[in-house]
Structure 1
Amino acid sequence: MVDAAARRAFVACSRSNAVVAVDLDRRRTEWRSPVGREPIPVVLDLPARRLFTADARSDTVTVVDADSGTRLAQVPVGAYPAGLGHHPGLRRVFSGDTAAGTVTALDADHARVIGTVPAELGAGSIAVDTSRDRAYCANFMSASVTVFDAATLRPLGRIAVPEGPCKVVVDPVSDRLYVAGSLHGTITRFCLRTGANLGELVVERAPVGMCVSPDGRWLYVCNRGAGTVSVLDTFRGTESHRITVGDGPGDCALDPVTGRLLVSNAGSGTLTIVDRPWLPGPPARAFHPVVGHPLPEFALPDLRTGRIRTTREWAEKKYVINFFASW
């Protein structure tokens, strides 16, 4: 999550139970705020200058001052909240409660629960179409997306999607909804106006995070299982290129000032910053064709004893073989 004016990025660190503020210009940590256990997403409410985190293992949403990092409140929600949505105009934050199969609506100004929306098992990521006051909640275990009215909290329908929907993103420019299917490595596209399915795009393993460029041209997809970001050209409906990032990339955001892509890497505990992410980088280093394959069996004499040594002696062990000329 990026605060462009303050030149900060906010990262939810699920393994450290904290939110970290990063100075984007100096590229260093400004402050670290403890929240609930296993914070997964974070959203920024600019009008109140507050951060909201969904603390999955605490069944809470924590509210933090975006400028100082001071914890302001902790609000109980449904079981295992793993996703957040935000409608700044309605002054609401929505929590996708995975184990409860519900969406909890919170008043962003008063940090209190104002209602609950029935969803389905695995409710998590939430995207909001602010022009129509509609919200979309991905239900990971139910292969569906729940649609509801963000103002009245009335359920509006259900969209069937491929198994394991992990992230939903609304693009107001192209009027599309993007759904990342983590189990099949696909991105499904829907028209927001008509609800029509516009087809799927294939990415790498376990896509779990996404963001879209301000002009709607580029969709960036975090492939957690591959350590890459797929860059999709939404105009052509193809993958343009892939960017290698850290281990286990979980989500991403764009800095609207510089256009740089920020990727939070859960596996390596790092933040990758990519300049001009819409352009392909240098070609990846080519690996020898045997890299990644089992070591062929062979036997060689021991120079000290003359005994024949084989690779089977070190099966399932790590070792270094140094081949050199003996002349």
Structure 2
Amino acid sequence: MTQTHTFAGKIAAALGIASLAVLGVAGSAQAATAFSEVAVIPSGADSIGQNPTDVAVDSVHHRAYVTNFVDGSVSVVDTSGAGAEVVQVIPNGAGSIGKGAWGVAVDTAHNRAYVTNAVDNSVSVIDTTGTGAHVVAVISYAAGNGHSPRSVAIDATHNRAYVVNTDDDTVSVINTGGTGITVDSVISIDIGSAPSDVAVDQVHSRAYVTNDNDGTVSVIDTTGAGTNVIAVIPHGATSIQNSPQSVEVDGAHNRAYVANAGSDSISVIDTTGTGTAVTEVITAGIGEGPLGIAVDTTRNRAYVANFISGTVSLIDTTGAGNTVIASTSVGRGAWGVAVDIEHDRAYVANNLVSTVSVVAAQTSPVITTPAGALTGGTVSAAYSPVTIEATGTPAPTFTATGALPPGLTLSAAGVISGTPTTAGTYTFTVVASNGVDPDASQTFSIAISAAAVVPAPATPGAAGAAKPAAHLPVVSG
């Protein structure tokens, strides 16, 4: 049964509201998480175009690709340094980006990016080498190949790109090998109404397709021809909820996260076994109208872009993977989101204000070197350096209070070194800080031994020294 479609009304309502300011700081007793918008890439002719919809990061060439729906263009962001400079804008036009540029995915194995053009019924293929802005092909959909391509995902294992076609309830399968422009097949059986997004599970050889109007998720077996739908995860209060807009696979924890925009929730699918069991439905901490989701498997986080709220929620993917640990305000109409793992940040396309937010999660320091006695030393002998270890993002710096052994110093990087000058046992406290409260502190001690006494060699004629034997002259005759 088709579920009640409520998200379209929410988008209309969003046109008249300002973004909600939400700032969360959460974490364990040892570490806290501060999550914030660290930069905004503005709208402009040489920057972000009108109504950006999706973002994809090319980790090989240090770029992010942003699709601009109204302009039919793609902005190319340099992710190095501050990561907020647009270095190219790929324009709309014949043989370039088509009208209604919507989804984008990077195929790092073949140095390409695929952009879906929903209005023109085509897919543009960008060469990501060189300037990363050369469109090398445009795949124009022939009759029966799909209509209104929206989202795209790369199956690196089987050299395919899966493209969901919203208007005719199909999924096109593009062969990314060779020239990367051949549509091998179109899946229509058991794809639900208005498919909105697709994500590939490389570990279990499946693709997950969210069906907006049905409130379901179709599961495709990506082995063989890669066209067999093996299951449909149903709509329900403890399953997939209203208007599932996006899906992202967390291969590190064997999960898929589904953003249900009409229910302000996230469904969590267990990708092991049949890959169809919904184990959690997250509502606490999720903003209104979640549209985009991206997973950082390195740091165990999932980023959820909330369209109506203009916020991003941050999920801890460890354990049950169901805890929102922080959130932050971004621009109105937060939509597509992509993780830049190399630089520990995420890019969010703010559709209604035509900007891109750069967000970062920062964690307070935790000193991991156990408290207590450190390696001892000896007066006048070079101390064997000891490094105080700590976690935290950004990397913390170190200071000391109390009495370090005279002659030893603690560097900002946490290295204790030098040559001690005075014997004794010294107790001091090391503080690690990185701008995220609270600072961490740990108390240590170092014992310095006196230098060994080496007897001086005896001096002739000195008191107590043996006198040389007298030699009398020899008299002859």
TM-score by structure 2 length? Answer: 0.57
User: Which residue number in structure 2 is paired with residue 318 of structure 1?
Assistant: none
CA distance in 1, matches of 2:258, 2:67: 22
Identify the structure with bigger relative contact order (alpha carbons < 8 Å, sequence gap 6+).
Answer: 2
Shift in Å at residue 25 of structure 1? 2.6
Shift in Å at residue 30 of structure 1? 1.5
| Counterpart check, 1:201 vs 2:271 | no
Shift in Å at residue 102 of structure 1? 0.6
CA contact 1:262–1:271 (8 Å) conserved in 2? yes
What SS does the aligned partner of 1:41 have? strand
CA distance in 2, matches of 1:58, 1:130: 30
| Counterpart check, 1:187 vs 2:269 | no
- 1:211-256 C-alpha deviation (Å, 9 max, x unpaired): 1122462211000111100112233622212111112111111212
Q: Residue 261 of structure 1: which of 332, 343, 346 is its match?
A: 346
CA contact 1:252–1:261 (8 Å) conserved in 2? yes
- Aligned partner letter, 1:30: V
Q: Aligned in 2, Cα 1:172/1:278: closer, same or farther, shift over 3 Å?
A: farther
- Aligned partner letter, 1:139: N
| Counterpart check, 1:53 vs 2:121 | no
| Counterpart check, 1:221 vs 2:340 | no
Shift in Å at residue 48 of structure 1? 1.6
User: Which residue number in structure 2 is paired with residue 17 of structure 1?
Assistant: 72
User: Which residue number in structure 1 is paired with residue 134 of structure 2?
Assistant: 70
CA distance in 1, matches of 2:73, 2:147: 19
Q: Residue 163 of structure 1: which of 242, 259, 269 is its match?
A: 242
* Percent of paired sites with the same residue: 25
Q: Aligned in 2, Cα 1:18/1:230: closer, same or farther, shift over 3 Å?
A: same
CA contact 2:197–2:245 (8 Å) conserved in 1? yes
Alignment of 1:276-291 (within 5 A): 276=361
CA distance in 1, matches of 2:292, 2:119: 20
User: Which residue number in structure 1 is paired with residue 85 of structure 2?
Assistant: 28
Which protein shows a greater Rg?
2
CA distance in 1, matches of 2:362, 2:101: 27
TM-score by structure 1 length? Answer: 0.82
CA contact 2:204–2:271 (8 Å) conserved in 1? no
- Aligned partner letter, 2:295: V
User: Which residue number in structure 1 is paired with residue 62 of structure 2?
Assistant: 7
- Aligned partner letter, 2:341: P
CA contact 1:125–1:138 (8 Å) conserved in 2? yes
- 1:185-223 C-alpha deviation (Å, 9 max, x unpaired): 000011001322112111111101011122462211000
What SS does the aligned partner of 2:213 have? helix
CA distance in 1, matches of 2:61, 2:114: 17
What SS does the aligned partner of 2:361 have? coil
Q: Aligned in 2, Cα 1:275/1:179: closer, same or farther, shift over 3 Å?
A: closer
CA distance in 1, matches of 2:71, 2:154: 24
What SS does the aligned partner of 2:125 have? strand
CA distance in 1, matches of 2:343, 2:326: 20
- Aligned partner letter, 1:185: D
Alignment of 1:118-133 (within 5 A): 118=188, 119-133=191-205
Report runs of 4+ in structure 1 exceeding 6 Å deviation: 278-283
Alignment of 1:223-238 (within 5 A): 223-234=306-317, 235=319, 237-238=322-323
User: Which residue number in structure 2 is paired with residue 148 of structure 1?
Assistant: 220
Shift in Å at residue 275 of structure 1? 2.9
CA contact 2:298–2:341 (8 Å) conserved in 1? no
Q: Residue 159 of structure 2: which of 91, 111, 114 is its match?
A: 91
CA contact 1:218–1:278 (8 Å) conserved in 2? no
Instruction: Give the alignment's Cα RMSD to 1 decimal.
Output: 2.0
- Aligned partner letter, 1:70: H
Q: Aligned in 2, Cα 1:200/1:50: closer, same or farther, shift over 3 Å?
A: same
CA distance in 1, matches of 2:230, 2:159: 20
Q: Tell me, which stretches of 5 or more residues in structure 2 are unaligned?
A: 1-55, 92-96, 235-239, 365-392, 394-434, 438-477
Shift in Å at residue 124 of structure 1? 2.1
